[in-house]
Structure 1
Amino acid sequence: MTTTTEAAAAPEAEASQPHLVLVDGSGYIFRAYHALPPVTRPDGTQVNAVFGFSQMLERFLREHTATHLAVVFDHARKTFRSEIFPEYKAHRPPPDPELVPQFALIREATAAFGVSCVEQPGFEADDLIAAYAREFTEKTGGRVTIVSSDKDLMQLIRPGVVMLEPIKRTEIGEAQVLEKFGVPPTKVVEVQALAGDSTDNVPGVPGIGVKTAAQLITEYGDLETLLERAGEIKQPKRREALLENAEKARISRRLVLLDENTPLPEPVEALKAKPPEPARLRAFLEENNFRSILARTGLGNAAEGKQDFRIVAPARPAVVDPAAAPFGPYATIQDLDALNAVIREARETGILAVDTETDSLDALNANLVGICLATAPGRACYVPLRHRGRDMLEPVPPQIPLEDAVAALRPVMEDPAVLKLLLNAKYDLEVLARPENGALAVTPFDDVMLISYAMDAGRHGHGMDELALEHLGHTCTTYNEVTGTGRARIPFAEVPLDRATHYGAEDADVTLRLWRLLKPRLLPEKSLALYEKVERRMVPVLMAMEQEGIRVDREELERIGQDFTERLVVIEARIHELAGRPFSVGSPKQLGEILFDEMGLKGGRKGKTGAYSTDAQVLEDLAAQGHALPRAVLEWRQIAKLKTTYVDGLIAQIATDGRVHTDFSMAITSTGRLSSTEPNLQNIPIRTEEGARLRRAFVAEPGHLLLAADYSQIELRLLAHLAEVPSLMEAFGRGEDIHARTAADIFGLPLEAVDREARRRAKTLNFGIIYGMSAFGLAARLGIPTGEAKGVIDAYFARYPGILAAMERIKDEARTNKFVCSPFGRRLWIRNIDDRNPAFRAGAERQAINAPFQGGAAEVIKRAMVRVPRALADAGLRGRMLLQVHDELVLEVPEEEAEATGTLLRGVMEGVATLRVPLLVEIGTGRNWAEAH
């Protein structure tokens, strides 16, 4: 193998002028990552950035000589500049999770090529490059070449120091800097301080660009002189900008000025170029299957150079044999030395699976009992933090104090080079973020639950137990197995450490194994963008909403509760009168006997217990036939449920801050919709007076308003989009009343002749079609004979044949693939589509028809939700998202910002997707949710 490093080590090179080459490692990494498609080595590890980096490094070593050589890396995102200006680089998104695990492999590649790898905590790579350039030129009198295209490094160019653009391989000297900035390298910092840099969030002076900045610095000499004489500037806007933003300019200068006194992690002498060890380099290239590089370096044969890697992974990995890496035994970590050893392993592998053990399912109030970590399959541990003895006689087990454990974990939890793997990340992140648990921030992260959900919504559950059984063939230890049940149950903090360790560490181990299996499937199954751009980004959005909560008027709730109680008494008396005798209205058995045995109503059917079914569908069918008793029972049940769930339940859930904090579930529904629990705010009736009364109890803080932004008829718009119905598309485009237009089309009426009843029928039909409603169902809703309802549906499909064709196409897709796709590509799996039972099969077909519309609507509002917080912040608006209920977002906004927030929100929400019909968002504001809605 012939490389530059060998040439550099040769006697003639030693005799020449000392020459230090400093490679900007970050620049190489990101160029490599974005230049190559996602690729994996045989074990499934993604290595596109590693391969590209290795290619560039190998080529550079072949084509250039140096006596000293190093690749310089950023150590972490936070540096001393973050203390000067917290917003510095704060808006930059974290690196892609596919890239994070490759950081450690890239450092391994650098070492394998025999090149020094340097980085320094608290400082950027650019600072290290500046310090090494100064040290080298002063100590050796030699020359320095900086391999980078980063404009921030151009301030370092001077006699003896040049830059080399890595792709074009052209030299950047003083002349090139003068051409780019309009000033020599010594003045670049002054220009950058004025012009700022949006990429790094360096503020600069608004309205002054590089060209103007160069003119000003050329005239006044330096930034401080310019600011002192800013009053002399003739142009009013420029003068005012400089006077008003002088401090910003000074801060900007401190941000862009590289620190040439950065402490050096390695002395200059340690950077001496040397040839790689052939065995080590060969082992690295073979492990990663980089055959073409093996051939070029002479360490492999030419035939091996044809293929370096295989593209992605199989679409459906086979079940992994659990015996390949046993599930346990696992380690109990009880001292800092052992914890630090785990942390070192995480930095080496670039991944760390994390799971929390707590004393509550309520993440906002849960206390951390212990934390579980895994660095590789089978290598997992449990770190007890708040365990205690079960009684006075049992000693507290040895464990690391919480504060010490948090201090040790914080750097790796925030390290951008280590990807954290979680399952149901929102819960764990909320627990770790609590001040009582150490206020740990975790970034970057992958959520295995959401990876699974992005590909397999509706196919199966996405909890740990279900996924472990589905993909690993492994049955997890249950919580009941370690804590007991009923009166025998003990708190997790009192579980013996050996049992707690196996249970907790197994969770982390399973999370890591699932990630290794499922993450490579995202790309071939066309779910990567959905996961990366929507699902994972929803985690911090929902965390913020849950922490905010929404204020509730307790007194108003109590008044509503009293009213509901009085109404229940009246309704119950009427029910007893209709039944002819008193009975327990809440007893399905007693109600069934009265309806079908005593009153002799038709349609009664008994279940396995021998009791008649009296569910909502049965009662609605009876009520549609004109029977008063079932209608009264339905009303009683509705009021009773509202009182129990939304009055008594809400009062019990008001926190000490006067607000309720719902828990949004991200991976429950088969369509991608969010659901909420504790309390469930998704099911408050929308169109009833009772629902409106309940919404009046949700109020804004003093000086604020609630703002509701609701997508108008989004599912119908998706129907028009998917079925390409000209009449409906034109109606939406003109802003017509879509139900009136449907009535006119179906019933053969002029638009102006459509009355209230015709519109009501058309509305029922429009929404019913989306849900696969049958003629029987439509008849029950409209109170008309089934034959007439069938005629209406036939007329609908005759007028809109595209809708019938679309529905048939969707059902065929479901039968063929066992899933359908939303308009944006999300796979929605449909169970029972081939079931032999006609009722199950018909239900699955109705679900298949509805899924693209509900799934599309869910994705539209999620896309909006991930954009709204940034849009508000960029506009300087203080509104906060509180709730998401179906197609509606609820925010709390300062009164004086309500109009501006509404305008911004409408623009964001209507612009998240391009359909064949326009999206429309309706905005309302009020002191309470009812007024806003």
Structure 2
Amino acid sequence: MSDNEATGHPKTLLLVDGSSYLYRAFHAMPDLRAVPGDPTSPATGAIRGMINMMQKLRKDVRADYAACVFDAPGKTFRDDLYPDYKANRSPMPPELRTQIEPIHEVVRLLGWKVLNVPGVEADDVIGTLSCMATARGLRTVISSGDKDLSQLVNEHVMVIDTMNDKVRDLAGVEAEFGVPPRLMVDYQALVGDSVDNVPGVDKVGPKTAVKLLTEFGSLDALIERAADVKGAVGENLRKALGWLPTGRELLRIKQDCDLQDHIPGLPELEDIRIGGQDVEKLKVFYEKYGLRGLVKQLEAHDVPPELLEEHRSQKKVGAGPGPGGLFEEPDLSGLSRATNLQYETIIAWEQFDAWLPKLLAADLVALDTETNSLDEMQAEIIGLSFSTEPGVAAYIPLAHSYAGAPDQLPRDEVLARLKPWLEDASRAKLGQHVKYDRHVFANHGIEVRGYVHDTMLQSYVLEVHKPHSLASLAERHLGRSGIDFETIAGKGAHQIPFQQVPIDKAAEYSCEDSDQCLDVHQCLWPKLERDPKLKFIYDLEMKSSETLFRIERHGVLIDAGLLARQSHEMGQRILQLEKEAHDLAGQPFNLGSPKQIGEIFFTKLGLPVVKKTASGAPSTDEEVLEKLAEDYPLPAKILEHRGLSKLKGTYTDKLPQMVHPRTGRVHTHYAQAVAVTGRLSSNDPNLQNIPVKTAEGRRIREAFIAPAGHRIASADYSQIELRIMAHLSEDPALLRAFNEGLDVHRATASEVFGVEPAQVSSEQRRYAKVINFGLIYGMSSFGLARNLGIETKAAAAYIDRYFQRYPGVKQYMDETRASAKERGYVETVFGRRLYLPEINSPNGPRRGGAERQAINAPMQGTAADLIKLSMVRIQDLLDQQGKGTKMIMQVHDELVFEVPEDEVEWVRAEVPRHMAGVAELRVPLLAEIGIGENWEKAH
């Protein structure tokens, strides 16, 4: 009797391609160690990644039997068949090799059968087990990124690639490769496999292979009729006829391996029935490898097996592939309360009236909006959800519109009744990325007050180097998986807008978001409360979020007519540059084609090769063009053409199209939780990348204007990172230069070149400026030489002389690198933590990059903190004094304002004073301001 007949429903065998998983885990994770900062401590990156992947897979896929299959060391039958099989594969990195045994151990402790069978590959074991499962009436799910396993797919077997979100079932394989699974091994034999060093037919790629198999039906039929294939393809095919059967045999996955010694219970599968976690041994393992967060998860979510089974029996089977669904709905952890979720959908006023007192009585409410757009200035509310305590949430559908949608409470009336609570600053609220929600409510005329917490910003302050989405936070800190948006709305061209998502699915999705947000907050907030420095940074981020909302909301006025004229002029110049480039080349060519540029440069004109690409071809990247442009006119023309084309496409053409129809202004979005240094990122449009050092960039800034009766003011810090370096290093000479108000570049030139300050030449000052800023960014002697156009030896001598004159800087750099290696992070002056996952990496370039970051990040991060402190203080000042001045942009160390004429003198005096006074460093801060009719005139 099959399992289906015995139980009345199909059971599932889940097979994991462990070898594929462990390489993915190794390459996806940074160089983590059991003891952070100790390079001699065991590597754990692949171990951690493997645990995460295996836990997520088990949550996502409901299975009755499961095994994780690894390649065994040593030769296989394929090596005997073809001695050059896999001959070009690189050896396993030693850092990964040391993690193999621990990975096997922890996978077993997680409840999986671990298999590694000598003499055959993991694919063959997977093929054999899937064949056995099919014979017993089971469905098989194979989790792997290896396309070779597609040949095993049939109506009972599917392959899922969780990293790339692919499902390779019968239809999926044919859609991806152009042939059905039964022809996959024929297809692979024709194309070959460069990874395993298995040749195919010369010059036959995927498209040609599909065409041949479609026409002839199979590889055997193609071999029989090889004489009918015309042209070069036919010639190459006939040359390969003797090899193709061997190639196919190498690539064919075995389905008849002898596994009896490894799974004694075969052909029954009881030996691989999925088991529970060995909690106590897992705790010991996690402690041994420094995985303390996982220990806490075990302690927080350890529940009896009977509760686990009860929970599973209550979970619905979701919309996964196959009859009845394959994938369980998520949230198989957090079980101590997940079985008692109380999610409600409010579609009647009686329910609303029952919930409103809960909102008014709650100490903190998690609030989430569901909208019809990611554009915060355009988005309208489709529904709202609230969570007042863990496991309790409600969703109010307000604008779902699809055939058969039930009646919903009127949106305007619901929002009107919620408005007093939403605008009451004494009612504490929580969200995930609250700046977006502020905009959404503002689109409906509601100014939300009382947002006291944002889980995205909590994560950004605590763990800047990790993802900050709610889904990743819930999984990382709670062990809870959430319903993916694509699960309820579809993906790609087939994705539906939220208003068309069925209300029952939308309610569960949105309630879960609010519930998880509250849950994550209760996990992260105590960590911030315990650390005064991190709490200070978090408070700063929350205040910055509110100020940035106002900056974004107000927007900036542009002169669309001026931009149109500039765009026309740039277009004319671009055409002229193209003609000049063609003349210099002696022929027309595509200025955007690296291949054609390479042919012109190196084949026709014989220009020197500066460097080569990974494939060995001469490079024509930006760095090469800049180097060649020093001596040759054609590369200079191409560079100018590229620069103008980018400015035209990004700004002069695009900005007028981005004017909001309601406000008549351009509204950028400031991403607050992206840069690890704390700096903001401007996008849609990016106002921080308009070049200030080129005439064209400055002309674009002229189009940022003030309305009638107003002026533009631009205030920025002077030499802020050098001042921060003086503060951090406490170098006496640097401190003296800034405290005495000296020209720091002239002072540096005086020290480095051994001349009196008054005797420093403009060239010497320029050199000193490059040295000052270069060392902040960890520039090497090679980099300095390239920047100054001098010999590397001379540049090294300048750096040595600099450190002799500024020994405090050298000492600070050495101590910072050492501290970063020990702790795994550096800090800003104010306590923002900047993590450096690669600081102890065995990979030299990665480690070197992290060491340079360790020097620069405290300065960039402190500068980011200072501009945020200034932004918040000045906005408070404007509010307190009832000024009409509006802050309209933040660009790196610069704040830009729109100022009424009668407030110009106040802004000129007060803004720089308050910017300079936001913090006391060992050197004075200096802020400078300009006023003008447009941004360029003010800068």
Distance 2:775 2:859 in 1: 11
- The answer for the alignment partner of 1:386 in structure 2 is 399
Distance 2:910 2:591 in 1: 50
Distance 1:475 1:594 in 2: 54
Segments of 5+ residues of structure 1 without an aligned counterpart are 1-313
What is the Cα deviation at residue 874 of structure 1?
Answer: 3.4
Equivalences for residues 155-174 of structure 1 within 5 A: none
Specify the code of the residue in structure 2 equivalent to 1:380.
A
- Decide which moves more: 509-518 or 476-485: 476-485
- The answer for the alignment partner of 1:844 in structure 2 is 850
- The answer for the alignment partner of 1:424 in structure 2 is 433
- The answer for the alignment partner of 2:706 in structure 1 is 700
- Does residue 646 (structure 1) correspond to residue 651 (structure 2)? The answer is yes
- The answer for the alignment partner of 2:182 in structure 1 is none
Residues 786-832 of structure 1 show CA distances to partners (whole Å, capped at 9, x for unaligned) of 11111111111111111111111121122111110001111111231
- Decide which moves more: 914-923 or 830-839: 830-839
Q: Equivalent residue of 2:476, what SS?
A: helix
Distance 1:533 1:471 in 2: 21
Equivalences for residues 461-476 of structure 1 within 5 A: 461-476=467-482
- The answer for the alignment partner of 1:570 in structure 2 is 576
Distance 2:602 2:785 in 1: 23
8 A Cα contact 1:695 1:928, kept in partner: yes
Distance 1:525 1:575 in 2: 60
Distance 1:527 1:723 in 2: 20
- The answer for the alignment partner of 2:422 in structure 1 is 413
Distance 1:651 1:754 in 2: 47
Specify the code of the residue in structure 2 equivalent to 1:336.
W
Distance 1:417 1:920 in 2: 38
Q: Equivalent residue of 1:824, what SS?
A: coil
- Does residue 325 (structure 1) correspond to residue 337 (structure 2)? The answer is yes
Distance 2:581 2:624 in 1: 17
Pairs aligned (count)? 611
Residues 1:528 and 1:604: Cα distance change in structure 2 (over 3 Å): closer
- The answer for the alignment partner of 1:756 in structure 2 is 762
Residues 826-857 of structure 1 show CA distances to partners (whole Å, capped at 9, x for unaligned) of 11112311222211111111111110111111
Distance 2:899 2:582 in 1: 49
Residues 1:580 and 1:360: Cα distance change in structure 2 (over 3 Å): same
Residues 133-191 of structure 1 show CA distances to partners (whole Å, capped at 9, x for unaligned) of xxxxxxxxxxxxxxxxxxxxxxxxxxxxxxxxxxxxxxxxxxxxxxxxxxxxxxxxxxx
8 A Cα contact 2:474 2:481, kept in partner: yes
Specify the code of the residue in structure 2 equivalent to 1:927.
E
Equivalences for residues 77-92 of structure 1 within 5 A: none
2:356 corresponds, among 343, 357, 363, to 343
Specify the code of the residue in structure 1 equivalent to 2:438.
L
- The answer for the alignment partner of 2:609 in structure 1 is 602
Residues 1:401 and 1:812: Cα distance change in structure 2 (over 3 Å): same
What is the Cα deviation at residue 709 of structure 1?
Answer: 0.7
- The answer for the alignment partner of 1:805 in structure 2 is 811
Distance 2:433 2:794 in 1: 49
Distance 1:570 1:693 in 2: 20
Q: Equivalent residue of 2:654, what SS?
A: helix
8 A Cα contact 2:364 2:428, kept in partner: yes
What is the Cα deviation at residue 438 of structure 1?
Answer: 5.1
- The answer for the alignment partner of 1:451 in structure 2 is 458
Specify the code of the residue in structure 1 equivalent to 2:338.
P
Residues 1:379 and 1:914: Cα distance change in structure 2 (over 3 Å): same
Specify the code of the residue in structure 1 equivalent to 2:434.
A
Segments of 5+ residues of structure 2 without an aligned counterpart are 1-291, 302-332
Specify the code of the residue in structure 2 equivalent to 1:325.
R
Specify the code of the residue in structure 2 equivalent to 1:362.
D
8 A Cα contact 2:610 2:619, kept in partner: no
What is the Cα deviation at residue 623 of structure 1?
Answer: 4.4
Distance 1:388 1:349 in 2: 32
- The answer for the alignment partner of 1:172 in structure 2 is none
- The answer for the alignment partner of 2:387 in structure 1 is 374
8 A Cα contact 1:593 1:612, kept in partner: no
Residues 1:845 and 1:575: Cα distance change in structure 2 (over 3 Å): farther
Q: Equivalent residue of 1:638, what SS?
A: helix
Residues 591-647 of structure 1 show CA distances to partners (whole Å, capped at 9, x for unaligned) of 345445654633443347x876544344445546x4544443332222111111111
Specify the code of the residue in structure 1 equivalent to 2:500.
E
8 A Cα contact 1:343 1:412, kept in partner: no
Distance 2:853 2:873 in 1: 30
Distance 2:721 2:585 in 1: 42
Distance 1:652 1:589 in 2: 33
Distance 1:701 1:407 in 2: 33
Distance 2:585 2:817 in 1: 45
2:491 corresponds, among 476, 485, 492, to 485
What is the Cα deviation at residue 499 of structure 1?
Answer: 2.2
Distance 1:676 1:497 in 2: 35
Residues 1:597 and 1:810: Cα distance change in structure 2 (over 3 Å): farther
Q: Equivalent residue of 2:296, what SS?
A: coil
1:359 corresponds, among 362, 372, 375, to 372
Residues 1:802 and 1:665: Cα distance change in structure 2 (over 3 Å): same
8 A Cα contact 1:377 1:512, kept in partner: yes
8 A Cα contact 1:329 1:502, kept in partner: no
- The answer for the alignment partner of 1:442 in structure 2 is 449
2:442 corresponds, among 429, 433, 444, to 433
8 A Cα contact 1:733 1:918, kept in partner: yes
What's the TM-score once normalised by structure 2's chain length? 0.62
8 A Cα contact 1:455 1:527, kept in partner: no
- The answer for the alignment partner of 1:544 in structure 2 is 550
Q: Equivalent residue of 1:849, what SS?
A: helix
- The answer for the alignment partner of 2:130 in structure 1 is none
8 A Cα contact 1:589 1:612, kept in partner: no
Distance 2:427 2:621 in 1: 52
1:854 corresponds, among 838, 847, 860, to 860
8 A Cα contact 1:622 1:630, kept in partner: yes
- Decide which moves more: 365-374 or 495-504: 495-504
What is the Cα deviation at residue 385 of structure 1?
Answer: 0.6
What is the Cα deviation at residue 464 of structure 1?
Answer: 1.8
Distance 1:839 1:618 in 2: 21
Residues 533-584 of structure 1 show CA distances to partners (whole Å, capped at 9, x for unaligned) of 4111112211111111111001110111112112212222333344443322
Distance 2:903 2:451 in 1: 33
Specify the code of the residue in structure 2 equivalent to 1:385.
L
- The answer for the alignment partner of 2:71 in structure 1 is none
Equivalences for residues 616-631 of structure 1 within 5 A: 616-623=622-629, 626-631=631-636
Equivalences for residues 140-159 of structure 1 within 5 A: none
Distance 1:382 1:359 in 2: 16
Residues 1:481 and 1:711: Cα distance change in structure 2 (over 3 Å): same
Residues 1:385 and 1:793: Cα distance change in structure 2 (over 3 Å): same
Q: Equivalent residue of 2:713, what SS?
A: strand
8 A Cα contact 1:455 1:525, kept in partner: no
Distance 1:332 1:860 in 2: 45
What is the Cα deviation at residue 735 of structure 1?
Answer: 1.9
Specify the code of the residue in structure 1 equivalent to 2:909.
T
2:404 corresponds, among 395, 412, 416, to 395
8 A Cα contact 1:370 1:386, kept in partner: yes
What's the TM-score once normalised by structure 1's chain length? 0.63
1:513 corresponds, among 499, 511, 519, to 519
What is the Cα deviation at residue 414 of structure 1?
Answer: 4.2
Equivalences for residues 862-901 of structure 1 within 5 A: 862-901=868-907
Residues 851-893 of structure 1 show CA distances to partners (whole Å, capped at 9, x for unaligned) of 0111111111111111112222434432111111011111111
Specify the code of the residue in structure 1 equivalent to 2:428.
L
Report the identity percentage: 43
- The answer for the alignment partner of 1:673 in structure 2 is 679
Specify the code of the residue in structure 1 equivalent to 2:487.
E
Distance 2:796 2:577 in 1: 36
- The answer for the alignment partner of 1:535 in structure 2 is 541
What is the Cα deviation at residue 348 of structure 1?
Answer: 4.5
Specify the code of the residue in structure 1 equivalent to 2:645.
A
What is the Cα deviation at residue 406 of structure 1?
Answer: 1.7
- The answer for the alignment partner of 2:54 in structure 1 is none
Specify the code of the residue in structure 1 equivalent to 2:453.
D
Specify the code of the residue in structure 2 equivalent to 1:441.
V
2:831 corresponds, among 825, 829, 839, to 825
